[in-house]
Amino acid sequence: MRFKLIVTSIFLLSIVVLQAQKYENLALTPPMGWNSWNHFACEINEDIIREMADAMVATGMMDAGYEYINIDDCWHGERDSLGFIQPDPKRFPNGMKALADYVHSKGLKLGIYSDAGWKTCGSRPGSRGYEFQDAQQYARWGIDYLKYDWCNTEKLNANGAYLTMRDALYAAGRPIVFSICEWGDNQPWEWAEPIGHLWRTTGDIYNCFDCVYDHGTWNSWGVLQIIDLRNNKELRKHAGPGHWNDPDMMEVGNGMTLNEDRAHFSMWCMLAAPLIAGNDLRNMAKETVSILTNPGAIAINQDLLGIQGYKHGMINQLDIWVKPLQNGEFAVCFLNRGINEVDLIFNWAENPINDELSGKKADFVAEKFNLWNVWENKSMGDTQKPLKAKLAGHDVLMLRLTK
């Protein structure tokens, strides 16, 4: 009898594995939310997470589309006698289930963090060898989002490791957005679409607009460096509803200038990137709130076509980015990479749009588009005459083109 039970169990497990997949109909537009790491790093606890959920509602961010409150590294305690991970009892004395219930009561969703290795990047217990147990625990707690890191993964195959956790999440029976975070080292855009809902394309971001922070054995990247690293035409073909390129969480409100925050947010919108804030939501300047909740910029990011924008060209120190939208519309963003103000003169008739990936085109000689300034919330005329504007250093002019 015992032999039959073992055989039956193995058979049933094999069926689960064979039928496993990622949960569909999740992240059909780039996920929007908040993550604890960029501002708090390891200094987190359940009071902070509750207060962030409160602030997401009170500031209007939830109404603007943000829904995930994501706990990053360092929430972990030890595993119990059966191997199930537990939260740090000092930082999260009421447990994750109670915290998830509180976040859900606000109309929001709770995310959590783990690592494919033996230990997380913050030296807490990783999920290697415990993938199915951890997934079951997350499901019991009511978790909605998992960021899965890549520290301490010696001799692991990235595709296989993330596939294992995908199968574990599916077997646990709760739809959870799966965020692959191996920093683009293993070209996840080539294999991750059936595994995760988003995948990191670069190393960690840093709260500066144009710099590289050398940690000795690895680097953090400024906004411009992140944009330049891998956001090219080859990469964008892998993005779309349910599977997004992720250039890392945002640094809006973490110390850059207003111009730089606006440019940072605009470019993440143009790139169809997940909009995961990383600042202290409880103490935001009104300017920060206005950037994070700008309806015109968010609408460009959340456009249902899910087409990632691309670099259309350059004029001296200005990048010109284009993102095709629904109903034959386009977003066009002029990014001033330099620190000095420049005069922008752009002749639409000489710069037709022809996106080979999506097949979307705009012949500005044959058809007229109206120009809507997303940040100033006003019309700037149409494409029948050249666009003229002054553009401050490290700033953007972001336009929506409508017929």
Q: CB–CB of 162/153 below 8 Å?
A: no
Q: Could you confirm whether 204 is annotated as catalytic? A: yes
Strands 32-35 and 68-70: parallel
The Cα–Cα gap between 227 and 79 comes to 39
The Cα–Cα gap between 149 and 164 comes to 14
The Cα–Cα gap between 143 and 49 comes to 14
Q: CB–CB of 219/275 below 8 Å?
A: no
C-alpha dihedral sign at 200, 201, 204, 210: negative
31 closest CA partner among 289, 326, 237, 239: 239
R_g of the chain computed on alpha carbons: 22
Q: Could you confirm whether 80 is annotated as catalytic? A: no
The Cα–Cα gap between 367 and 361 comes to 11
Look up residue 339 and give its DSSP letter: S
CA dihedral 308, 313, 318, 320 (to 10 degrees): -40
Q: Which residue's structure tokens are 């293993």?
A: 186
Exactly one of 115, 204, 248, 395 is catalytic; name it. 204
The torsion angles phi and psi of 218, rounded to 5 degrees, stand at: -160, 165
Residue 126 corresponds to which amino acid? G
Element of type H or E holding 389? strand 387-391
Strands 198-200 and 330-336: unpaired
Exactly one of 72, 115, 134, 149 is catalytic; name it. 149
C-alpha dihedral sign at 133, 137, 138, 142: positive
The Cα–Cα gap between 227 and 267 comes to 8
Element of type H or E holding 101? helix 95-105
The Cα–Cα gap between 345 and 107 comes to 46
Collect all residues with Cβ–Cβ distance below 8 Å to 11 and sequence separation of at least 6: none
* Residue 208 burial (CB count, 10 A): 19
Catalytic residues: 149, 204
